[in-house]
Amino acid sequence: MIAAFHVTPTFYLVLAAALFSIGAIGLLVRRNVLVMFMCIELMLNAVNLTFVAFAKALNDIGGQVLVFFTLVVAAAEVAVGLAIIVAIFRRRREATADDLRVLEG
Instruction: State the nearest-atom distance from the C-beta of 34 to another protein, in Å.
Output: 5
Q: Residue 19 and residue 76: Cα distance in Å, rounded? A: 22
According to the binding rule CB under 8 A, does residue 40 interact with another protein? no
According to the binding rule CB under 8 A, does residue 100 interact with another protein? no
**Three-class SS of residue 4?**
coil
Residue 63 DSSP symbol? H
According to the binding rule CB under 8 A, does residue 102 interact with another protein? no
Q: Which is nearer to another protein, 82 or 102 (CB)?
A: 82
- Find out whether 98 and 88 touch, Cβ atoms under 8 Å: no
Instruction: State the nearest-atom distance from the C-beta of 46 to another protein, in Å.
Output: 9
Question: Buried (b) or exposed (e) across 79-99, using 16+ Cβ within 10 A?
Answer: eeeeeebeebeeeeeebeeeb
According to the binding rule CB under 8 A, does residue 92 interact with another protein? no
Instruction: State the nearest-atom distance from the C-beta of 39 to another protein, in Å.
Output: 7
- Find out whether 7 and 56 touch, Cβ atoms under 8 Å: no
Instruction: State the nearest-atom distance from the C-beta of 104 to another protein, in Å.
Output: 13
Site string for another protein, 43-62 (x = CB under 8 A): --x--xx--xxxxx-xxxxx
